[in-house]
Structure 1
Amino acid sequence: MINVRNLKKSYQISDDRYQVLNDINLDVSKGEFVSIMGPSGSGKSTLLNILGGLDTPDSGEVLINNINIDSLNDKKKTLFRRENIGFIFQNYQLLHNMTVEENISMPMHADKINKNIIEKQVKDIIDAVGLKGKEKNFPSQLSGGQQQRVSIARALIMNPVLILADEPTGNLDRKTGTEVLKLLSNLHRNNHLTILMVTHDIYAASYSDRIILLKDGHVEMDVKHEKEGENVDLITNILEKLNS
């Protein structure tokens, strides 16, 4: 479903140029839940942004369902993102002057979908993420975990083929973060969603079934894992090797 070939990305900062991604190659199959880990500055978020078409590589290509997203013009790329990719961010990125249902339905209104269809799908997704009764609330009236559930619902509302999550539990306490991880895991399992999640948290990564570790812009390791909550010691050992 996702094919990354010879991906390179660098940034100019003052007089220096920093190579963030250096010849990245990886494949992700439909229905995988993949965590992207690595030390600070290893290129995790940059890779996620390129996969989502929010940033462009210096060279190489990204194919999603055999479509090279960087070959699309800005209008087509925006449409492709809206129809195929759902984004979940650490800081939720909700509009604070909109209610829960208004935040969730934004992508559908952008596509001018029938009002009755919007109302039904928003109701269904609100029920699915455990926000029933919060439809008319504003983000300021919600806890951090509830705001992240709104973000997840908004990411799912267009039935995307891919979810990209950047530190989705980074602003949450352990209990609330676990609830969000279990929600993502259940959605992945029940709806066969493909999820790529950037995280620095070993516990969060244990909910995925594959972990890609980046170091110095390279794929250092690519390991499969058996069940959520297991192999934390294995991941810890791998991270210690990366930081050695």
Structure 2
Amino acid sequence: MLQLKNVSLSIQRTPILRDVSLEIETGTTVGLIGRNGAGKTTAMRAIMGLLPLQGGTIQFEHGALHDKPAHHRAELGIGYLPEDRRLVPHFTVEDNILVSLWATGNTDRTRLKWVYELMPEIGRFADRKAMSLSGGQQKLVALARALVAGSNLLLLDEPFEGVAPALAQRLMEVIGDLRQEHLSVLISESDYTHSEKVVDKVYAVERGQVGLMDTKRAA
């Protein structure tokens, strides 16, 4: 499904990722664990085409992804929940969710209906302005937006960061339910607290380098 091979990337001449390699098989959930500043968000942004690579390749469904413009990700069925949510303040909840469909010219609202069934609470405040919601509720909206676009792959960057325990648990329930949809998912966290029960394998990132984590030993 997704493969990073020897990816290197610098920001303002500072090396952030160093020969990073990881792989996500179709229908699996993979964790990317590391402290703040370790390179998790940079890896996500590189996959999304928001940062240019200095070396290495990113393959998606056996095709080169690293040389495609960022906006092609939605067409490929890749959804992204950024750490800071990036909702449009004056849009309603539903308008924020539909942004990816507008970008691709897709008028089919079937996936929106599915998202409302998966997260009924989202449908209850669909007409409210996104910025009127709590931080945790905004995370759910950002997840809903990622789900509408992400029919093949989901990238979830620190989805539990800054969220009250009850809403973090709700987010985890929704992510757990996605296993039944055979979606491929990459979740970044600063530790192994929330995603432990749903991930199939875990990569640890430290100072821009990535390696498989021995989850049995970690447990």
* Pair 1:182 & 2:173 matched: yes
Cα separation, partners in 2 of 1:61 and 1:126, compared to 1, 3 Å: same
Deviation at 1:186, TM superposition (A): 0.9
- SS of the aligned residue for 2:66 comes to helix
Larger fraction in helix: 1
Asked whether the equivalents of residues 10 and 21 of structure 1 are also in contact (C-alpha less than 8 Å), the reply is yes
Cα separation, partners in 2 of 1:88 and 1:136, compared to 1, 3 Å: same
Deviation at 1:66, TM superposition (A): 1.3
Residue in 2 aligned with 1:239? none
Residue in 2 aligned with 1:92? 85
Residue in 2 aligned with 1:155? 146
What do residues 186-209 of structure 1 show as CA deviations (whole Å, max 9, x unaligned)? 12x111111111110321231422
Tell me, in whole angstroms, the C-alpha distance in 1 between the residues paired with 2:10 and 2:159. 25
Tell me, in whole angstroms, the C-alpha distance in 2 between the residues paired with 1:40 and 1:91. 14
What do residues 65-124 of structure 1 show as CA deviations (whole Å, max 9, x unaligned)? 11212233x3xx41234432101123222112111111111211222233xx33x54233
Larger mean Cα displacement after TM superposition, 52-61 or 155-164: 155-164
Larger mean Cα displacement after TM superposition, 195-204 or 138-147: 138-147
Residue in 2 aligned with 1:8? 8
* Pair 1:50 & 2:43 matched: no
Asked whether the equivalents of residues 90 and 171 of structure 1 are also in contact (C-alpha less than 8 Å), the reply is no
Asked whether the equivalents of residues 53 and 81 of structure 1 are also in contact (C-alpha less than 8 Å), the reply is no
Cα RMSD (Å):
2.1
* Pair 1:212 & 2:203 matched: yes
Tell me, in whole angstroms, the C-alpha distance in 1 between the residues paired with 2:31 and 2:150. 21
Structure 2: runs of 5+ lacking an equivalent:
none
Q: Percent identity of the aligned residues?
A: 24
| Residue-pair matches, total | 217
**Larger Rg over CA atoms:** 1
Asked whether the equivalents of residues 91 and 171 of structure 1 are also in contact (C-alpha less than 8 Å), the reply is no
Matched to 1:235, the amino acid is A
Asked whether the equivalents of residues 172 and 195 of structure 2 are also in contact (C-alpha less than 8 Å), the reply is no
Q: TM-score, normalised by structure 2?
A: 0.89
